[in-house]
Structure 1
Amino acid sequence: MKKSSVIHVASPDDDLPATAAAINPAEAAPRPKLGQLLLEAGKLRAIDIERVLQLQVVSRLAFGEAAVQLQLVAPEDVEHMLARQFGCPQLLPGEGGYASELVSAYAPLGPQAEALTRFATCLTQRWFAGGRRELALCGIEPGSGASLLAANLAVIFARRGARTLLVDADLRAPCQHRIFNLAQRRGLADAIGLRGDDDIACELPELPGLSVIAAGNRPPNPQQLLARPAFGQLMEDCVRRFDVVLYDTPAFTSAADIFAVAARAGGVVLVARRDATPAAELRRAADYLGRANASVVAAMLNRF
């Protein structure tokens, strides 16, 4: 799986703040102290905390810096707990078995995650704040990074307190089951074809508030399946249960499946590769999606 670096948001406007109100934010709670978090995690003992506090008195170091200087904890332990302290819990490397490119889970305070968080805020203000709940993400061509973008945005919205559902609607070349380390199981295609259970959403214990519907068994007729009324009925039920529903779709140039999903969602984020995707392709995709009654909410340019 290729790594991507978010380097430009073409739309919405770049001057929107990155700390706008979240969708259904949880009530603010007192911020736990770093020492208490390290104690609860078994990284420090009570006697260790006393040593850190004594060093702070004479050195004026921050608690985490003092603990590292005393070699009581590793720098990554402090970083992990700081993320939790500021309401941005960070998974340890390998925790959950998710793809390492899921930076919003493994490195939420890093530059890539910050850019993604800013983009999520833009989407909140420009799309979801109007009462909408569904949004599709579509790469212009295969390998644009749309699937990773959808996965990272799903994590961000869930951590903001929104009940979030990520639907892998790419029935041709699905990858959300690999990103989130989901076992092979029935999914969207099976439910539409009336061969699966109604409850196909998989909750992720390491990422509270986030559920994923995998693509399921690969069908021979994905475009026809997504055009069935059963798809709309299934998603109607999901919209009643979730605050945010994100769809990962096939690339625009590879299949026409996107139109059924885009018409359902009403809005689309286009994902392209900087210095690789022709501007004409972006314009063509926006034009065709408009004919399907879907608004292009934003465009994301990735660099690989």
Structure 2
Amino acid sequence: MPASTSRNYALITEVNPKSPISEAYRALRTNIQFSSVDDPVKVIVVTSAQPEEGKSTTISNLAVTYAAEGKKVLLLDADLRKPTLHRYLSESNRLGLSNYLSGKYAVEDVVLDTKIANLSLITSGSIPPNPSELLSSKKMSALITQLKEDFDMVLIDSPPVLAVTDAQILSNIVDGTVLVVNHGKVKRDAARKAISQLTHAKAKVLGVVLNNKEMSKKESSYYYYYAQKD
């Protein structure tokens, strides 16, 4: 993705859908759709190798592009350690995924309708003492199955791969995983290690998004690399 001029929680695909950056997110959406024609991808994890690479910005804007197509979309914040998706959608994080997984609330209690048409949100909820255990629970797997039936697309934000095991856990129960890499910040060895760990967890890595790359006018406004199949 091209570099942005400032860091904030505004969604460019919402406020300026005709911009080159918004077009880049639509191109990413198209590439994901064509990445697995025989086995449609409905549930995707978006993660990064390390913190502060733009995974939450990427997944939030990607969700808006899917919703703009008329698809019924759910954004799920499974980063139970440092959640941010509620800020992008200007929603409360009082109740969310952790509250549901702890058994205190039903699914309908934590699904929020956002101001964006066709886009719903489940925030992370209260930060729990045992994130990995909650995400690896049978209840989490059952939730993914239910959401896959209720929505056309489910996009899941997870913690960075090299920081904790959460991304590997989630990638094992979804249709595909996209890795976001911040250009100029993350070394190639770190990106390779992240992909290796995801592959070891039997994740289906759809590709890698190169974020914050300054592009010339002659270059494409995004990079999207398909992962090589074994």
TM-score by length of 1: 0.66
RMSD: 1.7
Structure 1 residue 7: Cα displacement: 3.4
Where structure 1 has 5 or more consecutive residues not aligned to the other structure, the ranges are 1-5, 9-97
Q: Is the 8 A contact 2:80 2:128 kept in 1?
A: yes
Structure 1 residue 301: Cα displacement: 1.2
Indicate whether 1:280 and 2:189 are aligned: yes
| One-letter amino acid of the counterpart of residue 202, structure 2 | N
Higher normalized contact order (CA 8 Å, seq sep 6+, divided by chain length): 2
1:76 counterpart residue number: none
- Could you tell which deviates more after superposition, 108-117 or 178-187? 178-187
| One-letter amino acid of the counterpart of residue 189, structure 2 | A
Q: Is the 8 A contact 1:136 1:249 kept in 2?
A: yes
Aligned equivalents of 2:79, 2:105: Cα separation in 1: 17
Indicate whether 1:99 and 2:9 are aligned: yes
Aligned equivalents of 1:158, 1:169: Cα separation in 2: 20
Indicate whether 1:297 and 2:195 are aligned: no
Matches within 5 A, 1:172-211: 172-199=81-108, 200-204=110-114, 206-211=115-120
Structure 1 residue 130: Cα displacement: 2.8
| One-letter amino acid of the counterpart of residue 129, structure 2 | P
Q: Is the 8 A contact 2:177 2:204 kept in 1?
A: yes
Q: How many residues align?
A: 208
Where structure 2 has 5 or more consecutive residues not aligned to the other structure, the ranges are 214-230
Matches within 5 A, 1:129-140: 130-140=39-49
Runs of 4+ in 1 over 6 A off after TM superposition: none
Structure (1 or 2) with the greater helix fraction:
1
Q: 1:253 aligns with which of 147, 153, 162?
A: 162
Matches within 5 A, 1:1-304: 6-7=1-2, 99-100=9-10, 102-127=11-36, 130-199=39-108, 200-204=110-114, 206-303=115-212
Query: Any idea what SS the aligned residue of 2:124 has?
Result: coil
TM-score by length of 2: 0.86
- Could you tell which deviates more after superposition, 231-240 or 145-154? 231-240
Structure 1 residue 154: Cα displacement: 0.4
